[in-house]
Amino acid sequence: MVSPTPPSAHVQGNCVAQPRLPRAVRMVSLRAGQSDSIRQRPGETIFLKGGEQVKPFPPHPDLQPLTPTCNPPCLAAAMPPGVSPGPEGPSAPAPSGRAGRRAPPPPRRSPGLPEAKRRGRARRLHQEVAELQDGLQHLDLAAEKPVPSGTGLAYDKELTSFHCLWDKSFPECPARLTSIWTKLVEDGLVERCVPVQARLATEEEILLVHSPQFLALMASTADMEEGKLRALSDTYDSVYLHPNSYHCARLAAGTVLAVVDKVLSGELRNGLALIRPPGHHAQRERMEGYCLFNHVAIAARHARERRGLQRVLIVDWDVHHGQGTQFIFEDDPRVSYNTPSVLYFSVHRYDNGAFWPHLPDSDSSAVGRGQGCGFTINLPWNQPGMTDADYISAFLQLLLPVAFEFQPQLVLVAAGFDAAIGDPKGQMLVSPACFAHLTHMLLALAGGKVVLALEGGYNLHSLTEGVSAALGSLLGDPCPPLAGPAAPCPSALQSISKALGIHAQFWPSLQHVEVSALSTEDEGVEEALGETGGVPSPVELPCPEALPSLEAPPPRRPPACTGLVYDERMTQHYNMWDSQHPERPQRVTRALSRLQELGLERRCLRLPPRLATEPELLLCHSPEYVARLRATVGLRPRELHRAGSRYNSVYMCGESFEAACLAAGCVLSAVDAVLAGQVQNAVAVVRPPGHHAEPDAACGFCLFNSVALAARYAQQVAGRPLRVLILDWDIHHGNGIQHIFEEDPRVATTWQQQQSPWPRASGHCWETPHWPHLQSWHYPCLHTPSPVLSMPSAWPALCTVPTGPAFVSMVLCSRYVAGHMVAHGDASGHPMVLSFADLSAWCYDCEAYIHHPTLLPAKILAHRLKFGNELPALL
Ligand code: X5A
Ligand code: ZN
């Protein structure tokens, strides 16, 4: 029935060879005013159910413009006789194929209540159709605007024009800013930033947070004599005033606003405001703790009230609790949709109340008040000496889960550096590099709209190193490595656990199922607990490294460069008995052309592809197995079929061995480039895949275990102990990798996998290939039990077309052959059609059937129209 075809021709088969992918379509239900919270993803199309339009983004220069007007797909044609099709009537006959030739519905019996219900249902459905069509009319096919770029850096020498007149050794001093500036110039960071002009905050802006009386009092200090300044200062806690203090505090606040505005407008990606005096202790009617005006609080209110943001996250990693900020927002009136607009997170030294500002409000029990409950998150440390591991844990376990749930539109950081190692006040041990990591973690939020405002930091050395490290992350530099393996200390864990316990009631992301609550009959749990007798025993990690020393900061690496390795020859591995097999050559050709379309490919450094050598394959596979695979080269189809069927879910052709060697070799090439420092990181677009391959067996489309080989190879090349982390996000369990490394402590493997039947059970129900970078799914698993889809012969039909000397094999479904959907598309100019016959969607841009979860509303509706009931199992 099937004849093997030359691979090159095969790749050009008619169905999926087009490089352009479908724009994913997203249908969204919105309440009024919410539309700016919907973000378009690259190449994605959004239409709204209620008819409200998503503000179109200007087209991305890298993407070709699409048809400017887009009509709805052929739902009109899809409407059953019971539903009025609208003015034009059905524009085409029922779809072709067996499905389309179904018998008409049986004649009505007696009218009555059921009939009235049916009509009511039809009316509602009609309304939904109208809504859907209306939504489709507003399809916005413009691509996403370019990602903002540029890191803003705001600084003004003017900000050094005040100091404590009566205490020359006061820690909050002008040298803090000058030494930071010198360091940033030295490190070459200033020239990589976009300068942002400092400016004064207006009175109106200060009044967003502070009272008019307090503002007037601060303004009056500009003309005071030293004696009066000192007397006034002494009526507050830990502040000094200088004749220039008021001016500089206004300049500091305005400077944060200047950076925030450029980030919100998209002129800059992120930014840093180098300012003093600090701000986070200042309250509505009080200066305190070296602070006059609360710059970050003003910026948050400004973002909300003047720039219309709904959610702002404030992260305060200054070693002191920003009680001023907390007080300002803890009972802040809600803004919209019952959600307070500002989430305040502070990690600080507390010492059970013994550390300044000595307030019970700084404990984790303070969670906000009224509508603001849960939107103040305090993480108090009860011991000095907290390390990188403690701060990283605080972020990973507490802040980030909440932040990802909150989905801020802007992140403001009260960036003090007094938790840095060597700071006289903080007495903590945080390395400068850690500030790069903390900053980097926040960049995943708010589309990268992160603004750092300097707060404390009184050891000039660690202050300047810390600022430099944080700025490096804003600029996109890779984070400097942290000191060797380390875990949070017991006291830190206690603080984190307590805060988690308190905030789990507000944030589902913090909820965990207790191990004790799991069924004891669950063998896995018992087994895992059995190993340690129930007592947690921390893993022992090899090769601990020395603690970081301030004396020898790691050399700064050049800006990140990403490697890309790909070789066309990997497409020569193909399934000659089933060209619809999901692991097909087009997976890599399409991936690569998508990278090209998006302009990503030309931003990478192309790395040389190569074949994995025999000794390299032996790093993970047995000599017998390698020999057995090598022997498949040149076998005849019948022998190849037999060779493949020895294994679970494996096919082979004459070129499979070479393709598998190439896939593995390309990954090794990427490892070479990364370890040599030629690139910061790399992507290998390879097939066949590898993670199911066992030491002596192919498995699940995989021949050689490329990733496992790469891990072993990296350790070999490095010539020193190297800890390797393998993250396997394939939907299937990487059984091969696990078996290879189960007993190797140098390789940690982690899986994020669904409970899926494979690889435990074999069968022929393939899940769709999962490419996280591509938002489309081709050729979905067609096992959805619907009356039409269960007809076996409708899909696929095969035809072979002679094209000159070669043969091009095309697998076409019967609907394509009959041409109904194509005809409709040609006639209507619709970019996409949904078949009423079997709910498949055809995309003319891709010339392929596509599926995406966002098509589901349309499919559900079509199913309802056709069968009068709900679509059974979802795709
Ligand atoms: C911003 C900052 C410290 C206040 C300490 C008062 N303030 N003892 O770090
Ligand atoms: Zn501080």
pLDDT digits (tens, 9 = 90+) for 535-588: 545 556 554 444 444 444 455 555 569 999 999 999 999 999 999 999 999 999
Q: Which of 60, 280, 281, 573 is catalytic?
A: 281
Residue 104 has pLDDT above 50, yes or no: no
The pLDDT score that the predictor gives to residue 111 is: 59
Coil, helix or strand at residue 550: coil
The pLDDT score that the predictor gives to residue 708 is: 98
Interval 772-785 mean pLDDT: 26
Residue 12 has pLDDT above 60, yes or no: no
The pLDDT score that the predictor gives to residue 526 is: 62
Atom 2 of ligand 1: nearest residue by CA position:
456
Percent of the chain at pLDDT exceeding 70:
70
- Our answer to whether residue 281 is catalytic in this structure is yes
Instruction: Note whether 838 and 790 are within 8 A (CB).
Output: no
Residue 25 has pLDDT above 50, yes or no: no
> In this structure, which ligand is nearest to the CA of 349?
2
Residue 859 has pLDDT above 50, yes or no: yes
Residue 848 has pLDDT above 70, yes or no: yes
pTM reported for the whole predicted model: 0.71
Looking at per-residue pLDDT, the higher value among 117 and 271 belongs to 271
Residues 6+ apart with CB under 8 A from 577: 2, 641, 651
The pLDDT score that the predictor gives to residue 557 is: 55
Band the pLDDT of 719: cuts 50, 70, 90.
Answer: confident
Residue 334 has pLDDT above 90, yes or no: no
- Residue-wise pLDDT tens digits, 445-466: 999 999 999 999 999 999 999 9
- Residue-wise pLDDT tens digits, 463-494: 999 999 999 999 999 999 998 778 999 999 99
DSSP 690: -
The pLDDT score that the predictor gives to residue 788 is: 23
Instruction: State the residue for tokens 């925030």.
Output: 260
Band the pLDDT of 741: cuts 50, 70, 90.
Answer: very high
Residue 734 has pLDDT above 70, yes or no: yes
The pLDDT score that the predictor gives to residue 830 is: 72
Atom 9 of ligand 1: nearest residue by CA position:
456
The Å distance, Cα 743 to ligand 1 centre, comes to: 50
pLDDT mean across residues, the chain: 78
Residue 745: is the preceding peptide bond cis (ω within 30°)?
no
Residue 823 has pLDDT above 90, yes or no: no
The pLDDT score that the predictor gives to residue 514 is: 67
Coil, helix or strand at residue 411: strand
Q: Kindly list the protein residues whose Cβ atom lies closer than 6 A to any atom of ligand 1.
A: 238, 278, 281, 289-290, 318, 320, 356, 416, 418, 455-456
- Residue-wise pLDDT tens digits, 589-606: 999 999 999 999 999 999
DSSP 803-828: ETTEEEEEEE-HHHHHTHHHHHHHHH
Question: Which among 356, 362, 428 is the best mutation to test ligand 1's pocket, defined by most ligand atoms within 8 Å of the CB?
Answer: 356
Domain ranges of the chain: 1-83, 154-548, 560-721, 789-867
- Our answer to whether residue 280 is catalytic in this structure is no
The pLDDT score that the predictor gives to residue 809 is: 23
Interatomic CA distance for residues 438 and 472, integer angstroms: 12
Atom 1 of ligand 1: nearest residue by CA position:
456
Interval 312-324 mean pLDDT: 98
* Least confident stretch, 62-66, 228-232, 246-250, 610-614: 62-66
* Least confident stretch, 74-78, 102-106, 359-363: 74-78
Looking at per-residue pLDDT, the higher value among 10 and 560 belongs to 560
Q: Phi and psi dihedrals of 61, rounded to 5?
A: -60, -25
Same fold, 560-721 and 789-867: no
Question: Which among 281, 291, 455 is the best mutation to test ligand 1's pocket, defined by most ligand atoms within 8 Å of the CB?
Answer: 281
Band the pLDDT of 139: cuts 50, 70, 90.
Answer: low
Residue 610 has pLDDT above 70, yes or no: yes
The pLDDT score that the predictor gives to residue 750 is: 58
Interatomic CA distance for residues 677 and 655, integer angstroms: 33
State which ligand 1 atom lies nearest to the alpha carbon of 425. 5
Looking at per-residue pLDDT, the higher value among 328 and 66 belongs to 328
Element (H, E) at 736: helix 735-741
> Homologous superfamily of 560-721 in CATH?
Histone deacetylase domain (3.40.800.20)
Q: Where are the beta strands (DSSP E) in 122-214?
A: 151-154, 194-196
- Residue-wise pLDDT tens digits, 181-208: 999 999 999 999 999 999 999 999 999 9
Coil, helix or strand at residue 845: coil
The pLDDT score that the predictor gives to residue 558 is: 57
| Topology (CATH) of 154-548 | Arginase; Chain A (3.40.800)
The pLDDT score that the predictor gives to residue 753 is: 41
Interval 261-283 mean pLDDT: 98
Band the pLDDT of 522: cuts 50, 70, 90.
Answer: low
- Residue-wise pLDDT tens digits, 211-229: 999 999 999 999 999 999 9
The pLDDT score that the predictor gives to residue 761 is: 31
Across 58-67, 304-313, 831-840, the highest mean pLDDT is recorded for 304-313
The pLDDT score that the predictor gives to residue 743 is: 81
Sign of CA dihedral 382, 384, 385, 391: positive
Interatomic CA distance for residues 332 and 209, integer angstroms: 11
Per CATH, the number for 789-867 is 3.30.40.10
CA distances (Å), origin 479, targets 74, 435, 441, 629: 51, 9, 10, 42
Interval 296-317 mean pLDDT: 97
Band the pLDDT of 653: cuts 50, 70, 90.
Answer: very high
